[in-house]
Amino acid sequence: MFALNEALVVLVRSIIAFFTLLIFARMLGKQQISQLTFFDYVLGITIGSIAASLSVDITTRAWPHWVGLATWTGAVFILQETSIRSKLGDRYLTGEPSIVIMNGQIMEKTMKKLRYTTSDLLEQLRDKGVFDLNKIGFAVLETNGQLSILLKPEYQPVTPSDLKITSSNAGLSNQLIYDGLVIEANLARAGVDRIWLEQQLRAQGINSPSEVYLAGYDANSGSLYIDKYQDNLS
Amino acid sequence: MKSLKYYAFVALLFAVFIFIMNSGDLFKKPLGSGDDFMLYMNQVEENISVNEWQTASINYEKLHRTWKKIVPRIQYSVEKDEINAIDVNLARLESCITSQDKTLALLELNEAREHWHDLNR
């Protein structure tokens, strides 16, 4: 009542919760939100909720919350390891992709088993840019709820190989200038030097790299992208 | 080497966190002179048992001061409710000593002792 400093206690407990959560999240890897299954999503909410209690619920001790956080993270870690090491374990823990359209026909029984409605299917098809069911060869509902579709051969987009056209390899673009500063390490990686860069800049009427916000160079295609601070928008 | 340093840092950080979260048992014990909570509790109890209300009042002041010193040390690892419960017990105990109510004073002392043992449990 008189000496208990609630704000200070919450501050210390929040620091503990924040860094614990950060380390635990790093331990659990780089799975993206879009790749999460429903169970992963619920696990994330539960772990977040325990961390929130650890941070601000000062009516209870911090230690049991921390143990809870560690236990849930440990359990997720074990599940992840099991999924990685055992194919059977992965099948049971994360499930398997299900075919919901086969040879253009909707698999009603499979959809019923998955509790996946026709409107869900149509919505996800529209999201993929498919508005006509006749165009679909196969549609697979992935374990994370995303729909993968394979169009019938006659509706698939043409590729350069279909047209017998040779195409150059697209590589990764290297950032040569960022925020007006030349990144020397990337110049060497892209196989160019500062003199070449300054020549290219002068060719575009730029006197100094400090006028450039971002410059990227693709060594494979030889294309140089330059964005100046001064934008000429009319 | 880099990953060894990283793991060592994480282990050290967790060790510090775990220590802070469990430090109540250590920090509620006397760390210097004049901050032995249980000693003053026992003294107040003895004074009340033999109806030495004047001395009980003096020892109560020492007990109260000690409690004020201990709370900032243990607040990061114990339940706020337990701290509040001891606060209430001490406030009631003061009134019991003032009104020389032996039964209620001993009751408050015993309850405060229970809450003291429950700190960091």
pLDDT level of residue A32 (50, 70, 90 thresholds): low
CB A104 within 8 A of CB A132: no
B119 → chain A, closest CA residue: A61
Q: CB B21 to CB A16 under 8 A?
A: yes
**Which residue, among B3, B9, B64, B80, would best test binding to A if mutated, counting the most A CBs under 10 Å from its CB?**
B80
User: Mean of the pLDDT values across residues A1-15?
Assistant: 82
Statement: residue A11 has pLDDT above 90: yes
Distance CA A162, CA A217 (A): 29
| Residue pLDDT, tens place only, A188-201 | 888 889 999 999 99
Statement: residue A104 has pLDDT above 90: no
Take residue A116 and report the two structure tokens written for it.
């996946």
Least Cα distance to B61 among B69, B51, B49 occurs for: B69
A8 → chain B, closest CA residue: B76
In this complex, the residue of B13, B21, B75 whose CB is nearest that of residue A63 is B21
User: Mean of the pLDDT values across residues B86-99?
Assistant: 96
Least Cα distance to B77 among B15, B19, B5, B22 occurs for: B22
Statement: residue A212 has pLDDT above 70: yes
CB B93 within 8 A of CB B40: no
Residues of A in contact with B79 (CB under 8 A): 58-61
Distance CA A41, CA A90 (A): 17
Take residue A175 and report the two structure tokens written for it.
């950032």
CA distance, residue A58 to nearest chain B CA (Å):
6
Residue A34 is predicted with a pLDDT of 60
User: Could you count the other beta carbons within 10 Å of the beta carbon of residue B70?
Assistant: 24
Statement: residue A90 has pLDDT above 90: no
Q: What share of chain B is helix, strand, coil (3-state, %, to 5)?
A: 80, 0, 20
Residue A31 is predicted with a pLDDT of 66
Statement: residue A1 has pLDDT above 50: no
CA atoms within 13 A on the CB side of A165: 8
User: Mean of the pLDDT values across residues A159-171?
Assistant: 78
Work out whether strand A105-106 and strand A98-102 pair parallel, antiparallel, or are unpaired. antiparallel
Chain A positions contacting chain B at CB under 8 Å are 1-6, 8-9, 12-13, 16, 19-20, 23, 58-63, 66
A10 → chain B, closest CA residue: B76
Least Cα distance to B41 among B102, B118, B119, B110 occurs for: B110
Statement: residue A2 has pLDDT above 70: no
Q: CB A12 to CB B76 under 8 A?
A: yes
Statement: residue A169 has pLDDT above 90: no
Least confident range from A25-39, A138-152, B9-23: namely A25-39
Statement: residue B2 has pLDDT above 80: no
CA distance, residue A21 to nearest chain B CA (Å):
11
Q: What percent of chain A has pLDDT over 90?
A: 50
Take residue A94 and report the two structure tokens written for it.
């994360």
Residue A4 is predicted with a pLDDT of 65
Take residue A22 and report the two structure tokens written for it.
């950060």
Q: CB A9 to CB B75 under 8 A?
A: yes
| Residue pLDDT, tens place only, B29-84 | 998 888 899 999 999 999 999 999 999 999 999 999 999 999 999 999 999 999 99
Assess B22–A contact: CB distance below 8 Å, yes or no.
Answer: yes
Assess B25–A contact: CB distance below 8 Å, yes or no.
Answer: no
Q: Is the backbone of residue A207 left (phi > 0), alpha (psi -120 to 50) or beta?
A: alpha
CA distance, residue A74 to nearest chain B CA (Å):
15
User: Mean of the pLDDT values across residues B4-19?
Assistant: 93
Assess B83–A contact: CB distance below 8 Å, yes or no.
Answer: yes
Quick check: pTM over 0.90? no
Strand A105-106: give its sheet, edge to edge: A105-106, A98-102, A136-141, A147-151
Q: CB B83 to CB A4 under 8 A?
A: yes
What does pLDDT average to over chain A? 88
Q: Of chain B residues 51-70, which have a CB less than 8 A from chain A?
A: 68
